[in-house]
Amino acid sequence: MTSRSGSSATALRTHSRASGSSSTTSARIFIACLHSARRSRNPRTKSIFPGTRWGQVSTCHIGVRSPLATLESRRARMTAMKLRTLIAAVAGWAALISSAGACTTFCFERNGSVVFGKNYDFGIGYGMLVVNKRGVAKASRIEPPDRPAHWTSRYGSVTFNQFGREFPSGGMNESGLVVELMWLDASQYPPPDSRPAVGVLEWIQYQLDQFATAAEVVANADRVRIASRTPLHYLVADPSGGCASVEFLEGKLVVHAGPSLPVRALTNDTYGSSLAFLRERDRSGARDLPTGSGSLERFVRAAVLVRALERDGNAGIAGNGPAVTDAFRVLESAASPSRTQWSIAYDLKNRRVHFRTRANPKVRSVALASFDLSCRAPVRTTDVDGGLVFGDYSSRANRALIEKSYRGVDFLRETPAAELDAAAAYPDTTACVR
């Protein structure tokens, strides 16, 4: 697969660097936080998603000494049986927690369509679709000493939100730009500097508000800094077929696009390590798709099926049907029976979002053209599990969703109510200026 035709695809700048596979597990992060909180005399649990203020769990820092290292230092005081029991318990936590952030994304072109697929695998599935408006002045929800970013939205968008309005997990804007997130243990954001900062979810809304193409996202990726300890990476795409993976490794921005993105897919390992795994499989002559639920196995399944769709028109999973239908079939191949909450197929050229949820498996569709995206009109929302009955945004409903989401996730459950109130009130700080 080579870089795609079209102005935005050819304009994409390539920032690529060698990257190893993720060696730190989600379990290590969260178990280390549990360990740190227990040692703290005055632990303060903070939420993990919206911004710096909330971008940590308890008072721990990623990179603290892991529980396994602590266990090792106590080996002399423990019997072998007790040690094996504790290690088994840690392994159980690892299996539970690492599955919480498993997601799969991909993009392909077929029959004149450009389609972006996303499986959202997480412990909870409730959320809302939000119709975001153009012409809205915003300042990121960041605390000193970080400096907030300020911007005015140029484009309206439809986003999937679990942790409150303005903090999406992904979405598409009226120009057809799609931005989606995935967990990546290896993520390490740049250290504080003079740039304004945004949170990991605000970063998504910022891109959808400001830019029309993947090329623009890449060209402006250094304008703001992510201030958070929540390790994510992103896949972005536009209607021309332009696509880029955006990662932050060892404190540096790493972008793959054009020739350095030969396979337009991303899961929960770095793009570099995922591509290396796929190439090793190709060299081995393997014919059967891997069946595991791990990140690299899902990457291979998505990559092989997408390549077949683009090359042959089918991947043994579809005939010559609509590209969106094929996207859902690829998503099915990468889905987790117990963890996939949302499956989304974005039709970028037609600005349509098709999705189904674990609670409501019927495919529903929304067209951005059907909404008034002027900020003079009320923001509209609907339950992701409902029947697409959009209503005016309610701060009370926003607060209720935030409460439900945070209380539904084990490692966020103890987030203080004041923090939830602040997240819920944030949309009230935005202003329509056009």
pLDDT of residue 316: 53
Q: Token match 């998505």: residue?
A: 302
pLDDT of residue 58: 31
pLDDT of residue 415: 94
Structure-block tokens of residue 143 = 């605390």
- Residue 326 CA to residue 110 CA, distance in Å, equals 10
Which residue numbers in the chain have pLDDT < 50? 1-48, 52-99, 318-319
Rounded (10°) CA dihedral 28, 30, 34, 36:
70
Angle between helices 295-312 and 271-284 (to 10 degrees): 70
Among candidate residues 1, 52, 19, 58, the one with its CA nearest the CA of residue 264:
1
pLDDT per position as a tens digit, 254-268: 999 999 999 999 999
pLDDT of residue 32: 34
pLDDT of residue 102: 84
Q: Where are the domains of the chain?
A: 7-23+104-432, 26-97
Cβ atoms 163, 211 nearer than 8 A: no
Structure-block tokens of residue 99 = 């599955």
Q: Residue 52 is which amino acid? A: T
- Residue 243 CA to residue 239 CA, distance in Å, equals 9
The domain 7-23+104-432: what is its CATH number? 3.60.60.10
- Residue 310 CA to residue 289 CA, distance in Å, equals 17
- Residue 87 CA to residue 89 CA, distance in Å, equals 5
Backbone angles phi, psi at 236, to 5 degrees: -125, 150
pLDDT of residue 2: 35
pLDDT per position as a tens digit, 268-303: 999 999 999 999 999 999 888 998 899 999 999 999
User: What is the value of pTM for the model shown?
Assistant: 0.80
